[in-house]
Structure 1
Amino acid sequence: MSRILIVGGTGFIGRHIAGRLAAAGHSIMAAGRHEVDLARDDEARLGVKVAGFDVVVNCAGLVRDVGANTMDAVHGEGAMRLFSACIDAGVRRLIHISALGAAPQGETDYQRSKGASEAFFTDADSHGERLDWRVLRPSVVVGRGGASTSWLLATAALPILPRIGRDDWLFQPVHVDDLAQLVARLAEGGDSSRMIDVVGPEPMTAYELTRILRAWLRLPPTGSVRIPDRLFEIATEMGGRFTNGPLNPDVMKMLAGGNVSDPRALTAALGRPPRSIRAALAEEPASDADRMGARLFFLKPLLRWSLALLWIMTGLLSFGLYPIEKSYELLAAIGLSGAVAAMALYGGAALDLILGLLLLRRFRPVLIGWLQLASMAAFTLLAIGLPGDYWLHPFAPILKNLPIAAAILVMIALEAD
């Protein structure tokens, strides 16, 4: 049994590796950014954190820069400091998760930052530094819980499948369990080449993969529509700017550049050929939860945005877009007048506007949702004193609170971490 530290162990790949190693009987520490921060921890601090471990697995990674957590800081400089710290601490083996296509002169920041650490490892090795290291360079990794997989599953669940890029934009997806098994074999001392391209056995386009995933979800075959390159480029630019997901300009560049390799090195290290995505998925059939998650993926932000805009517009209307005198008439119907009515009108408008803006920015959406429900409950209690027309009107201005409350509860459930 070995003591193994997994840096980035709370992420998608890290969790699967931790599970595989724990099942094999190893003592595991799955460290998140709070425990090991490659962007901020200096070499001395990293040395203390890796001391006493037999094997260190580095799964830390980003898809875009966030403050001090830049790709250069995490993939490049941080990985280099971790390498040196492992040498000083006497770690037996370092297993580093890089990426297929990584190169110091790569086309994207992601490829360049990953390539910088690979070049550092190779250079240190040539100068006689004593650390048994392995670099794993996966293509797209498919499996439950992966950001890319979640996005692809949501795409596969659409009524019409989008086709992006050209037919020669190929990659070789590999299942996360094959990657986790490879790490386990290497952590237990398995021999292999220094660098291993971790790829599945068959190149395919994104459209072909979505068809496979749709069949896995047990959804009926459907048609497709070609997405113009310029439209996809705009979508990736917006995704890179406003989200932390896999839809960003670097993805488009890497797809266009090709992401394929020979699986023979992986076959040798695994002791068997990698499984096709179809075969790997067949071993873990989709559940109702998988189908529900795929169908709700794109609806989740839409629900939050629509609720936010409803609250924002309610606040703006109460501030004067709707005739103020009519608002005061409504308040008078429940017994409020004078300064109390003004406080209720403008205080409620300010509250609605603030809650809407906070929800639009996704600031603690669960808390904001409960505050929205509380404000709706308070308004509904006050509305008891309104004339019967407000309850019996065909447009149901009060009864609409019921489906809105249900929508807020769904939003709270979807946004809860």
Structure 2
Amino acid sequence: MRVMIVGGGFIGGHLAGRLRAEGCAVTVAGRRGADMACDLARDDTAVWAQRLRGYDALVNCAGILAAGANYDGVHARGAIALFDGAAQAGVARVVQISSLGASDGTTAYHRSKRAADEHLVSLNLGWAIVRPSLVVGRGGGSAALFSALAALPLMPDMGGGMVQPIAIDDLVEAIWRLLRRPLPMSVVVDAVGPEPMRLVDLMAILRRWLGFEATRSLPVPRWMMRWVATLGIGPMTRDSLTMLEAGNAAPVEPFVAALGFVPQPVARALDRSPATQGDRLAARLSPLGPVLRGLLAAVWLAGGLVPLLLTPMASNTHLLARLGLTGEAAIGTVWAGSLADMAVGLALILRWHGAALAGVALMGAYSLILAAVAPELWADPFGALVKNLAVLGLSLAIHAMEKPHA
């Protein structure tokens, strides 16, 4: 079987590995690091029809959930163009990875998924729509987020409705069975695990998996969560908050009847793949990422503002005289350096990719110049130059923690 998977993220990556192990010829299409470059928000039907010629099956795993995300472009218009292209290319089977709750359409995220689902159903081809609840497994965004929350000294109890998480291996097994299903498929499946639970219960499972001692939970006021979602702080968005409040559960019996197997409890699925030291380190560091970025941004902003607002210009230009810079040239250099510092600080706050690395280059240049013109600063009791090494280390750590472009 020749299969194209659109979206090479968490689900798409696991599915590609399984299909290749089963002997399928797999092409992963995505925006970065995929076998084939694509952009669902831009590529039209004709482009997809050309790409999909000769393929037996298509699985659309593309999905985004973030503040300001182009849901209509990716989930709706992009997916519709993809499905129309598959129909024109003669692809026999199309599996759409939608979302549990898409039929209700309570959020922009769900409405965009529902639009694509409804269009796929109207086409004359073999189709299946899989609507997962929260998917748990190594490498998944949800597992990483809730593992990070579970690793805190007190687990945050965010309340909300019940969730019914499904292990990634079971979701992949379901898709594999659908791809082998006799045509026409014409099936909608709510992909859920066997156990409804609260989010705080899922965090407790993840905490045990990570090997941390049990701890208490701390209720988080709903007003605080709405405030965080409105300001766009962290991963919480208005849509994700609405989905949290509504819950994400469904009966498991229709899944079992449609796919012919019982999904495993999440705790058992996690036990099959024990947590490593890397998992524990990632869980502990993840909550610190925004804090470390904020502290580094504060250092750069202070480095730019203090020379301009708090210290005499004569003090700022004193060392520059050793480089032969005096008068307006020295003042201009101070302004240029201060503006560069503030630019790095603002770039860190805005989460621009590579901002920390730009700071490494700038701090490295400053350190080399100061070491050349004033080597005595290495012995300064306040660590005027030695502290730069700590800032360089922090910058490299933040850059390493950045996610690659999607």
TM-score (norm 1): 0.88
Who is 1:106 aligned against? 105
2:283 paired with 1:294: yes
Residue number among 129, 146, 155 corresponding to 1:135 in the alignment: 129
Structure 1 pair 65/359, CA: closer, same or farther in 2 (3 Å)?
closer
Give the superposition deviation at 1:72.
Answer: 2.0
The answer (yes or no) to whether the contact 1:159–1:222 under 8 Å persists in 2 is yes
C-alpha distance in 2 between matches for 1:385 and 1:81 = 63
Give the superposition deviation at 1:266.
Answer: 2.2
Residue number among 16, 23, 40 corresponding to 1:18 in the alignment: 16
C-alpha distance in 2 between matches for 1:218 and 1:212 = 10
C-alpha distance in 1 between matches for 2:329 and 2:318 = 13
2:161 paired with 1:159: no
3-state DSSP of counterpart to 1:38: coil
3-state DSSP of counterpart to 1:400: helix
Q: 2:116 is matched by which residue type in structure 1?
A: S
- Which is worse superposed, 358-367 or 43-52? 358-367
Residue number among 30, 33, 37 corresponding to 1:32 in the alignment: 30
- Which is worse superposed, 57-66 or 377-386? 377-386
- Which is worse superposed, 302-311 or 74-83? 74-83
Q: 1:341 is matched by which residue type in structure 2?
A: A
2:274 paired with 1:280: no
2:210 paired with 1:210: no
Residues 284-327 of structure 1 deviation map (CA, whole Å, 9 limit, x = unaligned)? 00001111111111212322222122111111111232222332
Residue number among 147, 169, 173 corresponding to 1:181 in the alignment: 173
3-state DSSP of counterpart to 2:49: helix
Structure 1 pair 96/337, CA: closer, same or farther in 2 (3 Å)?
same
Give the superposition deviation at 1:206.
Answer: 0.8
Give the superposition deviation at 1:340.
Answer: 4.7
Who is 1:314 aligned against? 303
Who is 2:249 aligned against? 260
Who is 1:406 aligned against? 393
Q: 2:56 is matched by which residue type in structure 1?
A: D
Structure 1 pair 349/70, CA: closer, same or farther in 2 (3 Å)?
closer
C-alpha distance in 1 between matches for 2:74 and 2:321 = 61
Who is 2:84 aligned against? 84
Q: 1:279 is matched by which residue type in structure 2?
A: R
Who is 1:6 aligned against? 5
The answer (yes or no) to whether the contact 2:357–2:395 under 8 Å persists in 1 is no
C-alpha distance in 1 between matches for 2:325 and 2:281 = 46
3-state DSSP of counterpart to 1:220: coil
The answer (yes or no) to whether the contact 2:151–2:207 under 8 Å persists in 1 is yes
TM-score (norm 2): 0.90
Give the superposition deviation at 1:101.
Answer: 1.0
2:204 paired with 1:201: no
Matches within 5 A, 1:60-79: 60-64=62-66, 66=68, 70-79=70-79
Q: 1:28 is matched by which residue type in structure 2?
A: V
- Which is worse superposed, 331-340 or 365-374? 331-340
The answer (yes or no) to whether the contact 2:356–2:396 under 8 Å persists in 1 is no
In the alignment, structure 2 segments of 5+ residues that lack a partner are none
Structure 1 pair 377/398, CA: closer, same or farther in 2 (3 Å)?
closer
C-alpha distance in 1 between matches for 2:243 and 2:309 = 51
Q: 2:4 is matched by which residue type in structure 1?
A: L
Q: 1:173 is matched by which residue type in structure 2?
A: P
C-alpha distance in 2 between matches for 1:415 and 1:120 = 36
Give the superposition deviation at 1:334.
Answer: 7.8
C-alpha distance in 1 between matches for 2:334 and 2:247 = 59
C-alpha distance in 2 between matches for 1:164 and 1:229 = 8
Who is 2:238 aligned against? 249
Alignment RMSD (CA, Å): 2.4
Structure 1 pair 344/208, CA: closer, same or farther in 2 (3 Å)?
same
Give the superposition deviation at 1:412.
Answer: 2.7
Residue number among 46, 50, 53 corresponding to 2:52 in the alignment: 50
Structure 1 pair 328/79, CA: closer, same or farther in 2 (3 Å)?
closer
Structure 1 pair 282/324, CA: closer, same or farther in 2 (3 Å)?
same
3-state DSSP of counterpart to 1:78: helix
2:172 paired with 1:170: no
Who is 1:116 aligned against? 115
In the alignment, structure 1 segments of 5+ residues that lack a partner are none
C-alpha distance in 1 between matches for 2:282 and 2:182 = 37
Give the superposition deviation at 1:147.
Answer: 1.6
